[in-house]
Amino acid sequence: MTSTAKKILVLAGDGIGPEITAATVAVLERLRSDYGLAIDMTPGDVGGMAVDLHNDPLPPQTLEAARAADAVLFGSVGGPKWDSLPRPLRPEQGLLRLRSGLGLFCNLRPAIVHAPLAAASTLKQELVSGLDIMILRELTGDIYFGQPRGIETLADGERRGFNTMVYTASEIERIAHHAFRIARGRAGKVCSVDKANVLETMELWRDVVTEVGRQYPDVQLSHMYVDNAAMQLVRNPRQFDVILTGNIFGDILSDLASMLTGSIGMLPSASLDESGKGMYEPIHGSAPDIAGQDKANPLAMILSAAMMLRHSLKEPVHAERIERAVASVLEQGIRTADIAGPGDSPIGTRAMGEAVLTAMK
């Protein structure tokens, strides 16, 4: 391995994570062996499997390796086996601590309808065909990380749970700048989603986004309350270009948007820090119900690898090679169960990975 090779830390995690990771690593390995991509992939432990091995969902050596890497490729974490552990030992904490420890505040979640899959959406095809939304989710603030938080027992013995929704102006500012810059390279529209009618944190969100927006007069800025945004996403999703939103609303709206595209198994994501270094993961979870059965759709993670090549490794040609191969597989009618229509005979994770490899030729 040459010293100029980019270092990728590969965190397969739990559930379907190892299966979709194997398919994705094979794709990257093919780019390395046949197309000259200079990368060096090493595995690491995270999530429930890391709890089993190290009693910690994010062992220090994993965080160190992530800091030293040029990019992190992440499968999925979690499962019923670990759900009743104390919160610090839950697999999800591994993911949340990685996001915060690496400063990955900028989460890009594109929701794109691939033409051959327009019929797979639960929405009418004419509403979703051609859909191309970029959800920009702030990822290191909000009620996810706000203090104080906890479950306490009151004097009368009643238990009380509490969390804190909090954003500083500078946290809102930096994600807003990203939204406007991204919109410039797209249709030039930002819709900022908040709950400014009820929450002070969101009133500040709206003020700061409006202020930042003045520096981008060429981008059209609108504001929408999150409840209305949920409704508009299923009523007329193509009205949106870039959706800028906070951590918790972005979590919810991105799952919603995934269904517009046919399957949550299709959506990749990128989580970037200030310098553009990032972690790349499918937006779906570990799907314990189908884990180990060769059923999961690996395309969201394979497309996440393409995002990694584009955003962190600055290898757009290799990224396109993956994206073209995925498009070709879909055009050929090759389907995993989650995106299969009535007449299709679905294939498994491994066969889908093989199909992508074949289509790369």
Give the interface with ligand IPM as residue ranges (CB under 6 A): 92, 95-96, 251, 283, 285
Query: For residue 269, what are the β-bridge partners?
Result: 281
Catalytic residue from among 6, 45, 195, 241: 195
AA letter at 138: E
Instruction: Decide: 340 and 346 in contact? Cβ < 8 Å.
Output: yes
The Cα 271–Cα 250 span in angstroms is: 13
Q: Specify whether 227 is catalytic.
A: yes
Catalytic residue from among 34, 52, 207, 227: 227
**Between residues 144 and 180, which has the closer beta carbon with respect to ligand IPM?**
144
Residue 241 contacts which entry, ligand IPM, Mg ion, none (Cβ below 5-8 A, type-dependent): none
Q: Specify whether 35 is catalytic.
A: no
User: In a 3-state reduction of DSSP, which class is residue 60?
Assistant: helix
Residue 119 contacts which entry, ligand IPM, Mg ion, none (Cβ below 5-8 A, type-dependent): none
Q: Which of 68, 22, 23, 65 is nearest to 44 (CA)?
A: 65
Q: What minimum distance in Å lies between the beta carbon of 283 and ligand IPM?
A: 6
* Residue nearest ligand IPM, Cβ-based: 92
The Cα 241–Cα 235 span in angstroms is: 15
Residue with tokens 């609108």: 222
Catalytic residue from among 45, 56, 142, 144: 144
Q: What minimum distance in Å lies between the beta carbon of 251 and ligand IPM?
A: 5
**Between residues 120 and 283, which has the closer beta carbon with respect to ligand IPM?**
283
What tokens were used for 7? 């270092």
Residue 40 contacts which entry, Mg ion, ligand IPM, none (Cβ below 5-8 A, type-dependent): none
Q: Which of 214, 218, 245 is nearest to 230 (CA)?
A: 245
AA letter at 3: S
Burial 274-290 (b: 16+ CB within 10 A, else e): eeebbbbbbbbbbbbeb
What tokens were used for 224? 């929408």
The length of the chain, given as a count of residues: 361
**Between residues 92 and 132, which has the closer beta carbon with respect to ligand IPM?**
92
Q: Specify whether 361 is catalytic.
A: no
Q: What minimum distance in Å lies between the beta carbon of 69 and ligand IPM?
A: 20
Q: Is 84 exposed, middle or buried (0-12, 13-18, 19+ CB in 10 A)?
A: exposed
Q: Specify whether 225 is catalytic.
A: no
Q: Specify whether 6 is catalytic.
A: no
Q: What minimum distance in Å lies between the beta carbon of 99 and Mg ion?
A: 12
**Between residues 196 and 253, which has the closer beta carbon with respect to ligand IPM?**
253
Residue 194 contacts which entry, ligand IPM, Mg ion, none (Cβ below 5-8 A, type-dependent): none
Q: What minimum distance in Å lies between the beta carbon of 255 and ligand IPM?
A: 7
Residue 95 contacts which entry, ligand IPM, Mg ion, none (Cβ below 5-8 A, type-dependent): ligand IPM
Q: Which of 42, 34, 35 is nearest to 9 (CA)?
A: 42
The Cα 200–Cα 202 span in angstroms is: 5
Instruction: Decide: 229 and 253 in contact? Cβ < 8 Å.
Output: yes
Q: What minimum distance in Å lies between the beta carbon of 311 and ligand IPM?
A: 17
Q: Are strands 39-44 and 6-13 parallel, antiparallel or unpaired?
A: parallel
Catalytic residue from among 255, 273, 294, 344: 255
Residue 132 contacts which entry, ligand IPM, Mg ion, none (Cβ below 5-8 A, type-dependent): none
- Residues taking part in catalysis: 144, 195, 227, 251, 255
